[in-house]
């Protein structure tokens, strides 16, 4: 078994290097969104509890960000917890919040290059978790590396509702009448109030675990995104899986409706 594994690993490394070389002159997505799915099923398959799966999934994040750095990706949005997920058992949610806090602290520690941003409905999260996420954001705001959006307590419909609410409040403060707003409202005006304002929309969305749906992830921003679905559970996601996603992306002709 040991010999088989060594041979398999050697072949994977050769294939990985070949993929990386093939992508040297390929188009690179500026913004990659990742739906990190399959932690619980991965844990269940090896007889562990959900918290173990979530922790192993969290351990994969730094690897992913390093691969994105190597590829030249500028923005990475990690879908870590949806508003729907908050209905899970209390003990699982508590464990998840602790893991998210540890991720934020790890990404913001000295020596890291990434700019961390909290993204989601902060009011649905524990105050301690929000404080840790916001501190990570403040500690990394001046960094020059890629922006990393941590989507915790995130829902795509809620984001759009929040954007419209923010837009209306902004115009109310300016004294704009409802009739004037209706007459002047454009798509980009709503985009200016999204959680991702100021960032490019995702070019590529990756979802692990075999599921082929968005689950409310960046509903507005993914109008022109490319999608890559893989059967691999998130804790088992490897650089070769990431390179395959980039290869698929580079092979597509993005027409944007033309």
* Owning domain of residue 83: 28-251
Residue 96 located in a structural domain? yes
Q: Is 85 a catalytic residue?
A: yes
Task: Render pLDDT for 123-175 as a digit per residue (tens, 0 to 9).
Answer: 999 999 999 999 999 999 999 999 999 999 999 999 999 999 999 999 999 99
Averaged pLDDT for residues 233-241? 97
Averaged pLDDT for residues 206-214? 97
Tell me which DSSP letter residue 213 carries.
S
Residue 39 located in a structural domain? yes
Residue 23 located in a structural domain? no
Averaged pLDDT for residues 215-226? 97
The CA distance from 185 to 16, in Å, is 48
Query: Does position 65 have pLDDT exceeding 60, yes or no?
Result: yes
Tell me which DSSP letter residue 228 carries.
E
Residue 142 located in a structural domain? yes
Dihedral class, residue 248 (left if φ above 0, else alpha if ψ from -120 to 50, else beta): alpha
* Residues in binding site: 37-42, 54, 82-84, 88, 207, 213-215, 226
* Residues in binding site for substrate: 38-42, 54, 82-84, 88, 207, 213-215
Query: Does position 121 have pLDDT exceeding 60, yes or no?
Result: yes
Residue 20 located in a structural domain? no
Residue 19 located in a structural domain? no
CATH number of the CATH domain containing 224: 3.40.1180.10
Of the listed 9, 27, 37, 106, which one is catalytic? 37
Burial class (CB in 10 A: 0-12, 13-18, 19+), 215: middle
The CA distance from 21 to 180, in Å, is 54
Residue 258 located in a structural domain? no
* Residues in binding site for Mg(2+): 37, 226
Query: Does position 8 have pLDDT exceeding 80, yes or no?
Result: no
Please give the tally of structural domains in the chain.
1
The pLDDT of residue 2 is 75
The sign one gets for the Cα dihedral 34, 38, 43, 46 is: negative
Under the banding of pLDDT at 50, 70 and 90, the label for residue 106 is: very high
Residue 173 located in a structural domain? yes
Within 8 A by CB and 6+ apart from 39, the residues are 50, 53, 54, 56, 57, 233, 234, 235
Under the banding of pLDDT at 50, 70 and 90, the label for residue 218 is: very high
The CA distance from 27 to 39, in Å, is 30
The pLDDT of residue 254 is 62
Query: Does position 1 have pLDDT exceeding 70, yes or no?
Result: no
Quickly count: other Cβ atoms within 10 Å of residue 12's Cβ. 13
Helix, strand or coil, per DSSP, at residue 131? helix
DSSP H or E stretch at residue 221: none
Q: Is 224 a catalytic residue?
A: no
The pLDDT of residue 166 is 97
Of the listed 69, 85, 162, 248, which one is catalytic? 85
Averaged pLDDT for residues 72-85? 96
């Amino acid at each position: 078994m040991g010999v088989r594994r060594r041979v398999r690993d050697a072949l994977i490394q050769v294939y990985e290097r070949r993929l990386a070389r093939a992508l040297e002159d390929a188009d690179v997505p500026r913004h990659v969104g990742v739906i990190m799915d399959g932690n619980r099923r991965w844990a269940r398959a090896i007889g562990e509890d959900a918290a173990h799966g979530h922790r192993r999934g969290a351990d994969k994040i730094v690897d992913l960000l390093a691969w994105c750095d190597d590829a030249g990706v500028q923005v990475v949005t990690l879908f870590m917890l949806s508003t729907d997920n908050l209905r899970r058992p209390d003990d699982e949610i508590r464990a998840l919040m602790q893991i998210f806090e540890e991720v934020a602290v790890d990404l913001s520690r000295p020596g890291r290059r990434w700019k961390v941003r909290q993204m989601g409905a902060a009011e649905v999260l524990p105050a301690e978790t929000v404080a840790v996420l916001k501190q990570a954001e403040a500690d990394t705001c001046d960094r020059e590396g890629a922006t990393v959006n941590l989507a915790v307590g995130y829902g795509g419909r809620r984001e759009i509702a929040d954007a419209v609410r923010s837009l209306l409040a902004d115009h109310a403060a300016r004294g704009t009448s409802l009739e004037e707003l209706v007459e002047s409202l454009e798509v980009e005006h709503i985009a200016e109030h999204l959680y991702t304002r100021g960032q490019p929309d995702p070019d590529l969305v990756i979802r692990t675990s075999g599921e082929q749906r968005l689950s409310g992830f960046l509903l507005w921003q993914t109008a022109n995104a490319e999608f890559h679905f893989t059967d691999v559970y998130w804790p088992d996601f490897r650089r070769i899986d990431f390179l395959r996603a980039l290869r698929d992306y580079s092979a597509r002709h993005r027409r944007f409706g033309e």
